[in-house]
Each structure stands twice: as structure tokens, then as C-alpha cells.
A and B are shown apart, each in its own frame.
Chain A
Amino acid sequence: MSHFSTIKTKIKDYDTLVKALNNLGQDVTGNNQELVVSGAHGKGHETVVADIAIGTDIGFRYNTVSQTYELVTDLHTWSQPVPVERFLDKLAQEYALVHIKSQTVEDGYEIVEEKRELDGSVELVVTRWTSDGDN
């Protein structure tokens, strides 16, 4: 064992975000959708341009300051089966899983184990053989 780290996932990559949303069963529309994100009663809706959209009232917009994608939505018309906080947690977990799998495979690792634990976490084990002296 060499080190142990805890990493807080940040949603930074467009393609990984789209893939994670798809894996969670969301239909996603691509770049620069006009999104209606406020006003539940049909009049005076404000529109917000988002980079990725789910339907017409949930979107993700890239924040150039934090360099992450942020959720834009209307909490009054939120129609997902889970509350917004849980939605974001599930997305972060799926995003991390998609990212780690593609990055480790790209680095020459093989995924030897993937299992979902009872507490809802996902255990992923990857290995790679290297010659002596090549750490």
C-alpha cells in the first residue's frame, strides 16, 4: 500500500457528464438549448441558455469561474423521482464511475472487479502489470 486519498468529485467534463446522465436513464439534448427554468404558471417565463438539457426545465451550464458544470432548474416544477440533492449525488457518483473507468483503461489498467455494495457505494478494482523498476 502506498497511499490513500479521498477525492471530492467535480463535474468538469462535458462528454463524461452526458454519459453519466444517459447511464442514469436521462434523455439529454446537446449544446446550447434554450431552457425555461422559471415561472411555473405559464406566463413570463425566463429562458436560460444551458449547455446540456434534460427536457425543458433541467439543464447544466458551465461556470467558467469554478470550471465546473452547474445545475440550472426550477425547483417549483422539479419532476424527477428523487429530490434535487439526491439527484446531484447520484449524478456525481455516476460521473466518478464513468470517469475512473475510462481513465484507468486509457492508462492500461484492467478492471478486475466492479460491484455495488449494500450501502449504495461502488467498489472498483483495477490492476496493471509493469516491469521491475518501472513504477
Chain B
Amino acid sequence: MKQHTIRYRIRQDGLVEELVEGVLGESCEQLTRTMEDNLGEISFRKLTPEYYQQPEFKPAKIVIEDNLN
């Protein structure tokens, strides 16, 4: 299980800062797109290092047969 956290800071003038944590790759954008579409318009966006990491994948097991004998 992974925990996704979104932090919002709603400023006095209604400007909303949104920080998404714990989501790798582009999926974090899908996660918050609905919110951003419904709430207003994006005036600033910055991708954080996690965005550029690929989600983990489980490599297939590779068996190398020893044919030397």
C-alpha cells in the first residue's frame, strides 16, 4: 500500500497552492486534473523530482541456462 498525500494552502484571496506527494510519474497529474479543471485555472505549475521517476516495475525473471557442459 502507498499513501498519497495532497497538501492545499488556500490563501486569503482564494489562490490555492497544491502539492502532491508520494505519486510517481505522470499519474500525479491525472490525480489532480479534475480538481484543477473544476476549481479554476492553473496559474503556475512546477514538477518536482519525483515526477521524473518512473513507477517501479517488477522485472521478469531471466534464467540463463548454462550450456557449457
- A contact set with B: CB distance below 8 Å: 1-10, 12-13, 89-93, 95-97, 99-100, 103-104, 107, 109, 119-133, 135
20 A-B pairs in the complex with CB atoms less than 8 angstroms apart: A2-B50, A3-B51, A4-B20, A4-B44, A5-B18, A6-B43, A7-B16, A9-B39, A10-B40, A12-B38, A92-B13, A96-B10, A96-B14, A103-B38, A122-B8, A123-B7, A129-B4, A130-B2, A133-B55, A135-B24
C-beta contact mask, B44-69 vs A, less than 8 Å → 1, else 0? 11111111000110000000000000
Given contacts A1-B49, A6-B16, contact A13 B6 (CB under 8 A): no
Q: How far is the CB of B42 from chain A (nearest CB, A)?
A: 5
Q: Which of A5, A120, A124, A131 contacts B36 (CB 8 A)?
A: A5
**Residues of A contacting B51 with CB < 8 Å?**
2-3
Most chain-A Cβ atoms within 10 A of its Cβ — which of B2, B10, B55?
B10
Given contacts A8-B43, A103-B34, contact A135 B13 (CB under 8 A): no
Which B residues from 1 to 38 make CB contacts under 8 A with A?
A: 1-25, 27-29, 31-32, 34-36, 38
Q: How far is the CB of B56 from chain A (nearest CB, A)?
A: 8
**Residues of A contacting B10 with CB < 8 Å?**
93, 96-97, 100, 121-122, 124
Given contacts A2-B24, A4-B46, A135-B25, contact A125 B7 (CB under 8 A): yes
A13 to B43, CA, bound (A): 20
Nearest CB to that of B19 among chain A residues?
A: A4
